[in-house]
Each structure stands twice: as C-alpha cells, then as structure tokens.
Structure 1
Amino acid sequence: MPGTRTAPASSRTAPQPAPPAGAAGAPPAPPVREVWFAAWPIAAIFILSNAAMPLYAVWQRQLGFRSGTLTLIYAAYIAGLLGALAVAGVVSDRIGRKPVLIPALLLGIVACLGYATAPSVAALAAARFLTGLATGAAVSAGMAAVTDLAAGRRIGPLPASTAVVLGAGIGPLLAGVLSETAPAPT
C-alpha cells in the first residue's frame, strides 16, 4: 500500500518462546506420560537406522559386494545424517516440530521399502542415505519436542535419551532375529 512503511529487517524481533512450565504466565505442563510418549518417534527412527546392520551380511552374499563397498553404503548414511542435522533443527524451530517429524518418519518408511526391495548396491546406498536423512530430521525435531515438553521438569532429556538407547538396541536385535527365522529376511 502506498505510503505504508515496514520496519527494517534488523528491527524485527523473533517470536519469544513460552515461559518454562511452572513459571508465572506459563501454560500448565503436560503430564509426564506425554513427555515419554513424545519420544516414540526417536525410538522408531533409531530402530530403523540400526535394523539394517545384521542384514548387510545377507545382502553382501546375495549381491556379491566387497567390504569396501559396505563402507561406502555406511558413508551414504552419514552424508544424509549430516545434511539433515544441518537443516532440520533450524527448520523445526521456525515451523514447528511436527512438520519436520512427520515427513522424517514417512521418509523412514520409504527407506524401509527401499531396503526390502533393493536389487542392487546402489539401491542399498540410496536406502541408507534416506535413512540418514530421516534419522537426522527425526532426532533434531524429536529431541527438541521432548525437551520442549519436559521444560521445567526434573526428567529433562531422559525420555529422548532412553528412546535413542532402546531404538539402537532393539533395531539390530529385531532384524537379526528376523533374518534368522523369516523365510526371506530381505
């Protein structure tokens, strides 16, 4: 509109975070079970990111690749993880935790489908890259969501840390059992 002036970008202020739970003017803190429930995406993504570990020996036999190739597949995960970690935290601070978490979990499902149908080393590397992207985004937004909900509570980051440990342990255990007992483990 003519004649309307806007403040220069340097004078605009970012929205202020809500006061910690329990502080004057703060909304009531959610029940502790909600804080623990908020950690499930972190556990799920760590189950995914670690589930493929025992299956690489099977894929190596099926596809006939060498140990050096396996190293490159693992490097694809790190590339995706670092890329997502560099961006997802900032994005979740700006647009919210759920808009980052939900696509990360969906990307994790796509990665699972990639592992299940991988006909080649390139397909495994692509699935591993997607796993890294999903893990980085889910960890950034998920840990922040748990920390937001736990603000002002003694449990702090305990639910998120527990989810990481459980996911990292359950993923390979579950995949290892399935690879030994299922008729077609991959």
Structure 2
Amino acid sequence: MKHALIIGGTGMLMDVSKWLIQQSAYTSVIARNREKLNRLQSAGSTANVDLVSQDYKNTEALREIIQNAIANYGAIDTVVAWVHGDAPQAIPAILDEISSRQKAVYNFFHIKGSSYHLKSIQSQVSTPENCQYRDIQLGFVAEGNTSRWLNHKEIAEGVITAIKNSKKRMVIGQLEPWEKRP
C-alpha cells in the first residue's frame, strides 16, 4: 500500500491502524479524540504518519483534511472508515473528495455495527467509479447459551483479514440469530 487513510482508527481499530502504518508507505489517521491519537503516536514509529484530531461530523473540515492528505502524500489506495450514524454526510464526503481528486482506484472498507442494514446503507452511498466499496459488518459471538460482543482483538483481526482478502462483504462474528444478540 502506498497511502492509507483511516477514519476512526484509535479505539477498537487501534491495532488495524498500527498494522496499516507498517504496511503503507504513508498513513493518514483522522480521529475525534486527541488523547487516543497520542496513544497511537506513542505506540510506535509514526515517521510516515499524519495524525489529525478532527470530529468527522464537521464535513467541511473533513474534506479539507482529505484534500491536504492527497496533495501532500499522494493518491489514497486504501480507506478504512468507522463512522457512526450521527455523521450521515461523512461517508459521502469522503468518497466524493477522494474520487474527485484522484483517478487512481482505491479500496474503501466501510465498517459498521451489527444493527446496520446493508441494503439501506448501500442505497445511501453512491460509489464512484474508481472506488471498490468493501462492507465490513461487526456482529457478536455465540458461546453456548450466551453471547457477547466482539472484543477489540477479534474486530482488528477480522478487519485486517478483510483488507488482505479485499472481500466485497464480510461479517466479523455473526448476525444471526438476531434474538441471540447480547
């Protein structure tokens, strides 16, 4: 990978961010929490990393950060985005900004929680021609008569596997039976 962009990669995706930093010539990380960004910075080599503290709900600031990342570090080939539903304009803005600023094809790994309905999300997201959209949905783990949510390690390993395999759709854990969710 040449240039990876991670949005929301300092919480449960911290290990994904660390892995992408090792795999990419350059990595841009946008996170809402400065303290968590500092933990990522102190976790290892960040010589080829741009860490930006910005709430992705501020769409214009998000667009500007992406513009600067492409201008300074080149075309983005991998995007990992964990964006909560309270920022409905963030994903379209990310896709639009990257696709309008580069001709190079890129993989967009969209991470979502278990309660998202894939068809409704896909109808809201217009995928540009140079974008290979990848859906990663987080589920739960059934253990005997009980169930639990995925832990950070399981989530990170699943997302890394999805990136390596570049599957169009991947569920980490399980989504069914729905009534067995924790």
Q: Which protein is richer in helix relative to its size?
A: 1
Normalising by the residue count of structure 1, what TM-score does the alignment of the two structures yield?
0.23
Larger Rg: 1
The higher-RCO structure (CA 8 Å, 6+ apart) is 1
What TM-score do you get using the length of structure 2 for normalisation?
Answer: 0.23
